[in-house]
Every structure is written in C-alpha cells, then in structure tokens.
C-alpha cells in the first residue's frame, strides 16, 4: 500500500480519499482475479465442446501460464512502483 | 524486522469491542478476520473428525481379510467421502483459517480486504459439508468413485453423485472467494514499509497458493459441470458411447489435482518457515531463495499432472516429459528443506511443541517427498500404480506434511489467539503419540503396496493380513491421539493455563507479537510503520 493512513488524521478528507483509493485498488485486483476464474471455467468447457484433445490441453495450458504471468507481473510492477 | 511502536500495543482498540454482537449472531454475521479464522479452524477440525471416523471405518474393515464390518458399496462410499472431506473440508479450510487469523496480523492490516465476502466464503462451507454427508442417506448411497470422481463411474452413479458435484461447486466458489480476498489483502493492505520481500514467509506461501487456487479451482468446477451435463443433459464429454473420452476427465481433473497437492502443502511450508526460525533463534536462511523456490514449485505444478496417469497409456515422449518434469519439483523442494536445516544449523534451538511438530514435519514430509520421487519414475509407477504404496506416499505428504504443520501452527499461535499458554506436557504427548502412531499406520502400507495390494478394496489376500492389522492399530492410535490435541486446545480456550504475554516466544520477530495476547478484536487500525 502506498499511502499509509497513519499519516492522515482519522476522519480527515485526506484519510477518506486514501481509503477510497485503497477500496478502488482492492476492487481492481478482485476483478482481475475473478476474470481469471471465469475464463478458466468457461474455457475448459468451451475447449472440450469445440476443440479436440490436444486443442483443449493447449488452450488450458497456455491460459494458465498467460494468466499467472500477467497477474503476478502486473501486481509486482504495481507494488514496486508504490513502495 | 523492527516496527515503530504505537498505541496499538497498549490495546487501544478496546473501545471497539462493544460494537460486535454476541452469541450465535456474532458468528453468523461477523466480518472480523479473527472470528472468521476461528470459524474456519473449528469447521476444519469438525470435518477432520468426521473424515477421521470414516478412515477408521475403512481401517476397521481392513483389519482382517474378508468382509466383516461393512459391505463393499459402503466401503467405496467411505473412501470417496473420506478423501473429499479431508481435502476440501479439513485441510484446505484449516489453511484458510490460519490465513484469516494471521495474514492481517503478519502484514499489519486491520482486516481482510473484503470483509463481507470473507463471511460469505466461510458460510458457504457448512452447506457444502452437509450436502456431502447427505449423499450417504440418499437412495443408492454416496458415490463410490473415489475422490477423483472418474467417469464412467461418476456418470453412472445414483443421485448422491449430484449432491457431491454441487458440494464441490460450492466449496470451489468458497475457495476462489477466499483466495481473491487473500491476494487482495496481501497486495493492497500491507503496512507502510512492508515490501513484498520483507513479508513473513507464511504470507508469501499463501499469496502463491491463492494464485494456484484461482487458476485451478475453476478447472475442477468445469470438469464436474461436464459430468453433470453428461449425467442429465445428454452431452457426451466423457461418454465413449457418444464420442466422448473418459480419459479426458482425468487430464482435466489432474490439471486441478496436482496443483491441489501444492495448495495443501504450501501454506504448511509457510507455517514451518515461521516456526523454525523462532525456535532456532535465527533469521530464516535464504529468504529470497525460499520465495523463488515456492514460486518455482507452483509453476512446475502446472506441468506435471499426467504423472497420475502413466498407466492410462501415453506416448513415450509424454511419459518422459512428465517423468522429468515431476523430478524437477524435487529441486525447489530440496532448496526449502536445505534452508530449513540451515536455519537450524548452529541455532540456539529449543524443542517446544511447535518446533517438535516442525521437525516431525521435516522428517516425514521429506520421506513422503522421496516416495513421490520414486513414483515419478514411470517404469516404477507402472508397478505400484493404484497400490497401497501410493496411499502411503500421499498420506506422508498430507498428514505428516500438512497436518503436522497445522498442529505446529496451532501450538505456535494459540497463545496469541486465546491469551493462554497451552499445556506443554499435553502437547508433547500429542506430538509423540501422533508421530509413533502415524508411522505405525502408514509405514507398513509401503510394504503392502510393494507386495501388490491394490487400494480401494474392502477385502484382500491372506498374505497382506499382518501389515494390515498393524496399520489398523496405528490408525486407531492416531485417531485417539487427536483427542489429546482437542483437550489441549479446549484448556487454552477456557483459560486453564498460564497467561500468555504479548510475545511468548523469545525468538519471534513478526508483527503479530507486537499486539497483546489475546489479540484485541480490532488490530492495526492505525498501520504500524516497518523500519
């Protein structure tokens, strides 16, 4: 977290602004993670409905790496920027 | 790690305590991470007892050759529910319970990022547990597919199977919500100055575990959804008669199932990484390499799933790839074991119960890891696949691995949770009884497996009788040993013991020990600053 609320007096507008910023960051993170979960759920069924054996495995395997690399990378970059 | 002291230490949050309701309403409506952590831990222990009773039913039947206690269908239901309950109902919720209680305290956050969702995540679990148990009382009984739910059995089982599928969906949703909460909390709510690379290892292992969960639980949900549509909506995903492929389910299941093994063990690694430095009175050796090793284990876990399926038939290239990839897991795991040993090396070690469980974990988990390495060699796996050797292997990893670490974690943090020191004598009895009886129960199963005894059978040839009798005696002993644990925990909860100081362990240096014991209802509302 970049903005320690310790620096702002409780109840002050600065503290409220910082709290709102944290809430927005929380929601953004959650949406990314929900997207991963939903995509995996839908993709595994879709790939089995439409694709063959190898296609399905390739999609799931690629998606696993792509999503994890994206999610970890994004958050690590974000964390480095604010610390 | 040093912190700037502030009024938190004096327990300035007491004025908040009158805000939360009491009685049953407190537990139903709570959004407090400590309450929810407690709920998870009690739910987990309850399911541990239920799953344990099922295990003892299995071992009672296997005490002697022949059928004497239960019929074969019920035996299959017991093996299925025992596996599902222990994995999804006991071990995973226990790990989430530790996460809920400790992650905010370890990173200096006031609570989890999504407090209401946290409540919902937990309260989804009891209905799922009830659904699992209810399947026993339906016409046809609970499914006898084993926890792996393989088709064609799972597409042909009576309606108990639908209950199990629904339960898996609910538990999966709960796990995903819990993981989202944990990741968000760790990434966004750390105290100022607590960079990612200064976090306690328990937080790192849980961060990586949560990513694994988000990636693989939907895959399991997709797989069981396809079973559901095969059963009721005329699809043929896994029905060979309709052009489907039952083996395809195995691929999907183990794409979830193998990372699941690490989902179960990584939080345990985290707990061990907190305990060993504390009781060695040294910082954790090779912190950065521990982080990278944990991430390495998680990444490799995605490319090893087919080692569970060597005998289904696959090209030699596939066999070789999955064999070598599986062996690769030993490298980061070896790094971790080396670092724990190096942490202990020349440390001022003392052997209180948490440390005993950590050392027990280290010894027995490594043994389970070695048998895993043996199983990864495909020609060997061909010989012992679906035998008791495999059963012995994964119980060394899951029971002596995860469960021992969780016991160690409870003894380590219970002074902070209850404000009372646990009874060291009871805890030592619990440890030694568990250690001995666990090995009596499971070590002989290696011999049984190597001699060719198949798993998931209620009856067996006379030649396996002696070691089965020994194993059953050990299993009952292990079950009884856990009553000592319950006694020790209840004594703490009832305040029967020494009052715990804020920091009962001399070598502990993480943030949770800066707040009073028991931890106030609200902590770190003003974040501490980490220097």
Please write the tens of the pLDDT for every residue from B2-59. 454 444 443 444 444 456 677 888 899 999 999 999 999 999 999 999 999 999 999 9
Residue B197 has pLDDT above 80, yes or no: yes
Percentage of chain A exceeding pLDDT 70 = 61
The pTM of this model reads 0.90
Which region holds residue B54: left if phi is over 0, alpha if psi is between -120 and 50, else beta?
A: alpha
**Residue B1 placed within a domain:** no
* Under 8 Å between Cβ of B258 and B328: no
Alpha carbon of A33: minimum distance to chain B alpha carbons (Å): 6
Half-sphere exposure of B415 (CA within 13 A, CB side): 24
Of B180, B195, B251, nearest to A33 by CB-CB distance is: B180
**Residue B240 placed within a domain:** yes
* Nearest alpha-carbon partner for B397 in B356, B432, B369: B369
Which of the residue ranges A5-19, B176-190, B322-336 would you say has the lowest mean pLDDT?
Answer: A5-19
Q: Give me the number of domains chain B comprises.
A: 1
Domain residue spans in chain A? 5-82
**Residue B34 placed within a domain:** yes
User: Are A22 and B237 an interchain contact pair (Cβ–Cβ within 8 Å)?
Assistant: no
CB atoms within 10 A of CB B6: 15
Top mean pLDDT of A43-52, B23-32, B136-145, B425-434 is at B425-434
| CATH number of B445's domain | 1.20.210.10
In this structure, what are the phi and psi dihedrals at residue B408, rounded to the nearest 5 degrees? -60, -40
User: Are A30 and B114 an interchain contact pair (Cβ–Cβ within 8 Å)?
Assistant: yes
Residue A81 has pLDDT above 60, yes or no: no
Residue A52 has pLDDT above 90, yes or no: no
In which band, very low, low, confident or very high, does the pLDDT at A12 lie, cut at 50, 70 and 90?
A: confident
Token digits of residue A7: 């620096």
> How far is Cα B255 from Cα B250, in angstroms, rounded to an integer?
8
> How far is Cα B352 from Cα B318, in angstroms, rounded to an integer?
47
> How far is Cα B195 from Cα B279, in angstroms, rounded to an integer?
25
> How far is Cα B80 from Cα B449, in angstroms, rounded to an integer?
20
Could you tell me which residues come within 8 angstroms of residue B496 by beta carbon, excluding any fewer than 6 positions away?
B420, B423
Q: Supply the range of the domain harboring residue B385.
A: 7-514
Average pLDDT, chain B: 93
Please list every residue in chain A whose beta carbon sits closer than 8 Å to the beta carbon of residue B225.
Answer: 41, 45
Span between the terminal Cα atoms of chain B, in Å: 7
* Nearest alpha-carbon partner for B160 in B51, B218, B74: B74
In which band, very low, low, confident or very high, does the pLDDT at B415 lie, cut at 50, 70 and 90?
A: very high
Looking at residue A18, its pLDDT comes to 83
Percentage of chain B exceeding pLDDT 70 = 96
More confident residue, B9 or B205: B205
In which band, very low, low, confident or very high, does the pLDDT at A70 lie, cut at 50, 70 and 90?
A: confident
**Residue B202 placed within a domain:** yes
Could you tell me which residues come within 8 angstroms of residue B278 by beta carbon, excluding any fewer than 6 positions away?
B354, B355, B412, B505, B507, B508, B509
> How far is Cα B55 from Cα B134, in angstroms, rounded to an integer?
18
> How far is Cα B521 from Cα B19, in angstroms, rounded to an integer?
10
Look at residue B387 and give its three-state secondary structure. strand
Q: Is B111 a catalytic residue?
A: yes
Q: Is B513 a catalytic residue?
A: no
Residue A66 has pLDDT above 80, yes or no: no
**Residue B2 placed within a domain:** no
Looking at residue B249, its pLDDT comes to 92
**Residue B435 placed within a domain:** yes
Please write the tens of the pLDDT for every residue from B299-337. 999 999 999 999 998 899 999 999 999 999 999 999 999
Looking at residue B403, its pLDDT comes to 95
**Residue B524 placed within a domain:** no
Please list every residue in chain B whose beta carbon sits closer than 8 Å to the beta carbon of residue A75.
Answer: 183, 187
DSSP string, B155-170: HHS-THHHHHHHHHHH
B12/A contact by beta carbon, under 8 A: no
Token digits of residue B86: 């222990």
**Residue B521 placed within a domain:** no
Q: What is the CA B53 to chain-centroid distance, rounded? A: 18
């Amino acid at each position: 977290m970049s903005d320690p609320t310790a620096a702002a007096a409780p109840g002050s507008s600065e503290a409220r602004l910082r709290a709102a910023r944290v809430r927005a960051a929380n929601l953004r993170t959650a949406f990314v993670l929900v997207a991963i979960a939903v995509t995996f759920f839908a993709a595994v069924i879709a790939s089995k409905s439409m694709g063959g054996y190898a296609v399905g495995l390739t999609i799931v395997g690629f998606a696993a790496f792509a999503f994890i690399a994206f999610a970890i990378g994004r958050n690590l970059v974000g964390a480095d920027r604010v610390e | 790690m040093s912190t700037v002291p502030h009024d938190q230490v004096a327990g300035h949050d007491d004025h908040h305590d009158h805000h939360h309701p009491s009685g049953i309403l407190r537990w139903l409506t709570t959004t407090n991470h400590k309450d929810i952590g407690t709920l998870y831990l009690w739910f987990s222990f309850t399911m541990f007892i239920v799953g344990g009773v099922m295990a003892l039913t299995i071992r009672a039947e296997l005490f002697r050759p022949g059928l004497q206690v239960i019929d074969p269908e019920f035996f299959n239901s017991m093996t299925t529910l025992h596996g599902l309950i222990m994995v999804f109902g006991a071990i995973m919720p226990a790990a989430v319970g530790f996460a809920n209680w400790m992650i905010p305290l370890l990173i200096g956050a006031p609570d989890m990022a999504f407090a209401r969702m946290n409540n919902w995540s937990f309260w989804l679990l009891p209905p799922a547990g009830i659904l699992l148990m209810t399947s026993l009382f339906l016409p046809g009984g609970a499914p006898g597919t084993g926890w792996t739910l393989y088709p064609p059995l799972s597409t042909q089982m009576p309606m108990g199977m639908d209950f199990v599928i629904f339960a898996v969906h609910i538990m999966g949703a709960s796990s995903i919500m819990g993981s989202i909460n944990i990741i968000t909390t760790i990434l966004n709510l750390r105290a100022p100055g607590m960079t990612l690379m200064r976090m306690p290892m328990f937080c790192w292992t849980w961060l990586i575990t949560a990513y694994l969960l988000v990636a693989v639980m939907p895959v399991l949900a997709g797989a069981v959804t396809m079973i559901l549509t095969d059963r009721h909506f005329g699809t043929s995903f896994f029905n060979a008669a309709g052009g489907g492929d039952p083996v395809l389910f195995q691929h999907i299941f183990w794409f979830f199932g193998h990372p699941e093994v690490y989902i179960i063990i990584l939080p345990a690694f985290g707990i061990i990484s907190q305990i060993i430095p504390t009781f060695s009175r040294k910082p954790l050796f090779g912190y950065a390499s521990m982080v990278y090793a944990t991430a390495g284990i998680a990444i490799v876990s995605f490319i090893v799933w087919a080692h569970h399926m060597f005998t289904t038939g696959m090209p030699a290239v596939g066999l070789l790839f999955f064999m070598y990839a599986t062996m690769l897991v030993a490298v980061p795991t070896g790094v971790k074991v080396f670092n724990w040993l190096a942490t202990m090396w020349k440390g001022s070690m003392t052997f209180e119960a948490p440390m005993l469980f950590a050392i027990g974990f280290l010894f027995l988990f490594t043994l389970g890891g070695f048998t895993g390495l043996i199983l990864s060699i495909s020609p060997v796996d061909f010989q012992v696949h679906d035998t008791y050797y495999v059963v012995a292997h994964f119980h060394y990893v899951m029971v002596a691995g995860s469960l021992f670490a969780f016991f160690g974690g409870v003894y380590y943090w219970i002074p902070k949770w209850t404000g009372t020191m646990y009874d060291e004598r009871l805890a030592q009895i619990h440890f030694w009884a568990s250690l001995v009886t666990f090995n009596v129960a499971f070590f002989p199963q290696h011999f049984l497996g190597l001699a060719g005894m198949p798993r998931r059978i209620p009856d067996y040839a006379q030649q396996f009788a002696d070691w089965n009798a020994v194993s059953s005696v050990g299993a009952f002993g292990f079950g009884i040993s856990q009553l000592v644990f319950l006694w020790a925990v209840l004594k703490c909860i009832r305040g029967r013991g020494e009052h715990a100081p804020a920091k009962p362990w001399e070598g502990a240096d993480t943030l949770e020990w800066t707040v009073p014991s028991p931890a106030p209802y609200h902590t770190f509302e003003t974040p501490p600053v980490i220097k």
